[in-house]
């Protein structure tokens, strides 16, 4: 079967559910590639008549907002012991340096750390649970959560969809090349996210000299 024909057989509802589910779980605090899924769905909607980019953006926004809200409730109830348990299970995402970096962002920006955190891979996982742990007033969290979710999900979908529409006329003539291009975009996005997270963790980690001084004290 031709690749373009195979892509057109994917049910739209399954794409919407996947986008909302993965982004919702990521926002709740589970390390998942929400951004990659959103980019892939937006690209697919550009060449798939049955997939509506408005629905992709709406499902992504809903997943982000609901997931963050559940994460906030879990963090408020679980407190710091919850972060400690998560650090034991996911040390690369919930280690001491990552938590320290996220806390500094919250101390500096307050509720807007939730808004801007939606655009940063590491903070996107932390925002909801950490806001709950720090007992941020829910109304402040909700405003930043809703605005951040809509701007991030809607903006990302609009930009990627527009790029896909422009390229679709050319890519549909080279279906295999189009598939390879989509895969490369996904891999590149994943590498960028990982690199961003590593830089954030490195900047938050204490210097070896200062760690040694603390140990000797």
Confidence grade of residue 213 (pLDDT, cut at 50, 70, 90):
very low
Q: Which of residues 57 and 106 earns the better pLDDT score?
A: 57
Check: CB of residue 57 under 8 Å from CB of residue 153. Answer: yes
Residue 204 has pLDDT above 50, yes or no: no
How many other CB atoms are there within 10 angstroms of residue 151's CB atom?
A: 14
Check: CB of residue 127 under 8 Å from CB of residue 99. Answer: no
How many other CB atoms are there within 10 angstroms of residue 164's CB atom?
A: 22
Q: Which of residues 177 and 216 earns the better pLDDT score?
A: 177
Mean pLDDT of 78-96: 68
Q: Which two tokens stand for residue 184?
A: 């490369």
Mean pLDDT of 117-124: 77
Q: Which of residues 76 and 84 earns the better pLDDT score?
A: 76
Residue 58 has pLDDT above 80, yes or no: yes
H-run or E-run covering 63: helix 53-89
Q: Which two tokens stand for residue 46?
A: 């550009």
pLDDT at 41: 87
pLDDT at 184: 67
Mean pLDDT of 131-159: 89
How many other CB atoms are there within 10 angstroms of residue 36's CB atom?
A: 18
Residue 211 has pLDDT above 50, yes or no: no
pTM of structure: 0.69
Residue 189 has pLDDT above 80, yes or no: no
Mean pLDDT of 169-190: 56
Task: Compute CA distances 129 → 23, 28, 52, whole Å.
Answer: 15, 7, 31
Q: Which two tokens stand for residue 118?
A: 């939606």
pLDDT at 70: 93
- Reported for 164-167, long-range contacts at CB under 8 A and 24+ positions apart, including other chains, are 164/42, 164/43, 164/45, 164/46, 164/47, 165/46, 167/46
Q: Among 97, 92, 93, which residue's Cα sits nearest to residue 205?
A: 97
Mean pLDDT of 102-122: 78
Instruction: Report the alpha-carbon distance of residue 100 to residue 193 in Å, rounded.
Output: 19
Q: Which of residues 14 and 1 earns the better pLDDT score?
A: 14
């Amino acid at each position: 079967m031709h690749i373009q024909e195979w892509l057109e057989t994917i049910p739209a509802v399954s794409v919407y559910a996947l986008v909302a589910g993965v982004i919702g779980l990521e926002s709740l605090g589970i390390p998942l590639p929400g951004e990659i899924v959103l980019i892939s769905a937006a690209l697919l909607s550009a060449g798939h008549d049955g997939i509506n980019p408005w629905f992709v953006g709406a499902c992504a926004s809903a997943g982000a907002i609901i997931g963050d809200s559940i994460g906030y409730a879990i963090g408020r109830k679980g407190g710091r012991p919850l972060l400690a348990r998560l650090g034991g299970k996911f040390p690369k995402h919930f280690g001491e340096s990552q938590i320290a970096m996220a806390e500094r962002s919250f101390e500096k920006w307050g509720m807007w750390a939730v808004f801007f955190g939606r655009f940063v891979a590491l903070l996107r996982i932390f925002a909801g649970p950490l806001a709950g742990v720090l007992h941020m007033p829910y109304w402040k969290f909700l405003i930043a959560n809703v605005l951040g979710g809509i701007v991030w999900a809607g903006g990302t979908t609009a930009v990627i969809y527009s790029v896909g529409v422009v390229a679709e006329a050319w890519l549909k003539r080279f279906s295999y090349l189009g598939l390879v291009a989509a895969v490369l975009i996904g891999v590149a996005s994943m590498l960028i996210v990982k690199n961003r997270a590593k830089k954030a963790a490195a900047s938050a980690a204490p210097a070896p000299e200062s760690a040694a001084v603390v140990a000797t004290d």
